[in-house]
Chain A
Amino acid sequence: MRKLTLNGINKVFLTHPDREVFALDNIDLSINEGEFIALIGPTGCGKTTLLRIIAGLENASSGEILLDGQPVADLNRISTLIFQQYSLFPWYNVIENITFPMEMKGLRKAERRRRAEELIQLVGLQGTEKAAPYELSGGMQQRVAIARALAHDPEVLLMDEPFGALDERTRHRLQTVLLEIWKRKGKTILFVTHNIDEALFLADRIIVMGTEPGRVVEDWHISLKRPRNRLADDFTQLHLKIRNVLEIT
């Protein structure tokens, strides 16, 4: 079932009064319910801009975004974005960070607490409820960020290179955690990365974007069985294929 539809999204920046830069050129995209999509592409292809538009942090110059076929009035309400940079509120502890979006929605305290405990279990952070962000490692902070995003209960979960600042071991572990969460919660996920391996390990569908103007170059369905083996032949072959496309774009 079609969840999110992007129709003719354009984003034009004026760098000089007379020079227009097409950050995004006529992006059409339809995303199915529960789909895990990786957006991959070189720097400057507009993948982060596209995510920010869907998150409601930026306006498109033209085009429309439909949720379940209906125009969306307030994008902040239907989606949320996890950033690459650590974005926990430093004055709140883990549980207060996770309850934040539920507080914004006006949920009752006991209910917030109950759901937060559930989410803490889900991301594997039992025992850190009272810890402050600065006490946590980068990987743990991103786990909290994921739990907090889920607490917002978005229709679409947007992730902008969320594991980009982590070391490889932690990155792999969090990829597994994320897949587990995706299976359990059935969220629609749009995941920006520049790491081919990460895209292949996670996604049902990989969209390759190109630069100048920012546009969709390839749109592949990845039918590899899960859990995926990064060393299997079909995995590495796809890896090469994507790399070749990225090199010419």
Chain B
Amino acid sequence: MLSERSANNGTARKISHTLQSLILPISFLVLWELIAVWAANPALIPRFTTVLGVLLNPLQELVGTGSLLHNTLVSLFRVVLGFAVSVVVCVPLGIFMGTSKTLHRLVNPLVELFRPLCPIAWIPFAMAVFKTTTVPQLFGVRFTETILDSVQIGMVFIIFWGGLFPILLNTIHGVAGVRGLLLETARVLGADKQKTFWKVVIPAALPDIMTGLRIGLGIAWMVIIAAEMLPGSDSGIGYLIMYAYELAEMQILVAGMIVIGIMGLGLNHGLQLISNRVSNWKALER
């Protein structure tokens, strides 16, 4: 009897908490819609329902720039490629720098020299050096008629820089911060250097490495939007919202912003899920 009542209370509380967290977002949307109707100037404030219309038709051709979905995929593809390069370079380098004091002394001054430089500051440099060469062209292939044709080396380079420092520094921190007690435990239990590395150092550092990946991916996603908004760009979600601005198509601009936000959230969440799967012990330990 008592337990049944408390169970009911629990469900009721859960529903009430959900409702509480929805109050402000829903008020915001209603207020937006009201202000837009009142302002009656879609070039300044588009109605929420109009924006929703754009979002619900992601395959629709938009102002001659391709569909919302296409542009999102282009941006996503650039980020995934650049981020992959970042991971492949920075995780091993971070592991070496975290284990070898000599390598750390050797490379760290260079890291500290470049670190304060915002990755966005690299964009003009990358455009000057790599021009509009795409990744397939780099390998001597032209017009593969795939999304790869929209992935310029310059973009990959910039995203690489965006992911570089968070991944590198968190990996170093994770590897160098493995508790001495656990390393000694492995030693007295007969683990040699190599086995200690794979069975102790890597699992111990994995939560920090995953944090680095999450921060790095977040920055990469911000950097690609900035890069796509610059002159010379011809596709991507950043390009789409800039072009929509020039044509005063506010509903497309705002819809693009919402997609950017949702994608950022989704990427972070996706990596968080992977992180929880591969290294949940640290979160649970607390």
Whether B188 pairs with A79 at a CB distance below 8 angstroms is yes
- Is residue A152 within 8 Å, beta carbon to beta carbon, of the partner chain? yes
Chain A residues 131-171 with CB under 8 Å of chain B are: 132, 134, 148-149, 152, 158
Whether B190 pairs with A152 at a CB distance below 8 angstroms is yes
**Chain-B contact segment, one of A97-105, A218-226, A239-247:** A97-105
**Chain-B contact segment, one of A21-29, A31-39, A86-94, A206-214:** A86-94
In whole Å, how far is B276's beta carbon from the nearest beta carbon of chain A?
Answer: 13
Chain B residues 183-212 with CB under 8 Å of chain A are: 184-192, 195, 199-200, 203-204, 206
Whether A57 pairs with B188 at a CB distance below 8 angstroms is yes
> With A134-B284, A152-B190 in contact, do A87 and B279 touch (Cβ < 8 Å)?
no
Contacts of A105 in B (CB 8 A): 190
Contact indicator per residue, chain B 263-286, by CB within 8 Å of chain A (1) or not (0):
000000000000000010110110
> With A91-B203, A134-B284 in contact, do A83 and B187 touch (Cβ < 8 Å)?
no
Contacts of A152 in B (CB 8 A): 188-190
Whether B190 pairs with A104 at a CB distance below 8 angstroms is yes
Chain B residues 150-175 with CB under 8 Å of chain A are: none
- Is residue B181 within 8 Å, beta carbon to beta carbon, of the partner chain? yes
> With A90-B285, A132-B281, A132-B284 in contact, do A57 and B187 touch (Cβ < 8 Å)?
yes
Chain A residues 177-198 with CB under 8 Å of chain B are: none
Find the B residue at minimum CB distance from A149.
B189
- Is residue B89 within 8 Å, beta carbon to beta carbon, of the partner chain? no
- Is residue A229 within 8 Å, beta carbon to beta carbon, of the partner chain? no
Whether A77 pairs with B190 at a CB distance below 8 angstroms is yes
Partner of B189, one of A85, A101, A132, A134: A101
Partner of B182, one of A56, A89, A101, A158: A89
Q: Number of A interface residues, CB 8 Å?
A: 26
> With A83-B185, A100-B199 in contact, do A134 and B190 touch (Cβ < 8 Å)?
no
Contacts of B284 in A (CB 8 A): 132, 134
Contacts of B282 in A (CB 8 A): 90
Contacts of A77 in B (CB 8 A): 190
Whether A101 pairs with B190 at a CB distance below 8 angstroms is yes
Whether B200 pairs with A87 at a CB distance below 8 angstroms is no
Whether A91 pairs with B189 at a CB distance below 8 angstroms is no
Whether B188 pairs with A85 at a CB distance below 8 angstroms is no
Per the bound structure, the CA–CA distance linking A56 and B189 in Å amounts to 11
Find the A residue at minimum CB distance from B286.
A134
Find the A residue at minimum CB distance from B187.
A76
Per the bound structure, the CA–CA distance linking A105 and B186 in Å amounts to 12
- Is residue A120 within 8 Å, beta carbon to beta carbon, of the partner chain? no
Per the bound structure, the CA–CA distance linking A85 and B185 in Å amounts to 11
> With A91-B203, A91-B281 in contact, do A85 and B181 touch (Cβ < 8 Å)?
yes
Residues of A within 8 A of B (CB): 55-57, 76-77, 79-81, 83, 85, 87, 89-92, 100-101, 103-105, 132, 134, 148-149, 152, 158
Residues of B within 8 A of A (CB): 181-182, 184-192, 195, 199-200, 203-204, 206, 279, 281-282, 284-285
Which are the 7 A-B pairs with shortest beta-carbon distances?
A101-B189, A91-B203, A104-B190, A81-B188, A87-B185, A134-B285, A91-B281
24 contacts between A and B (CB under 8 A): A76-B190, A77-B190, A80-B189, A81-B188, A83-B185, A85-B181, A87-B185, A89-B199, A89-B203, A90-B285, A91-B204, A91-B206, A91-B279, A100-B186, A100-B189, A100-B191, A101-B190, A104-B189, A104-B191, A104-B195, A132-B281, A134-B285, A149-B189, A158-B188
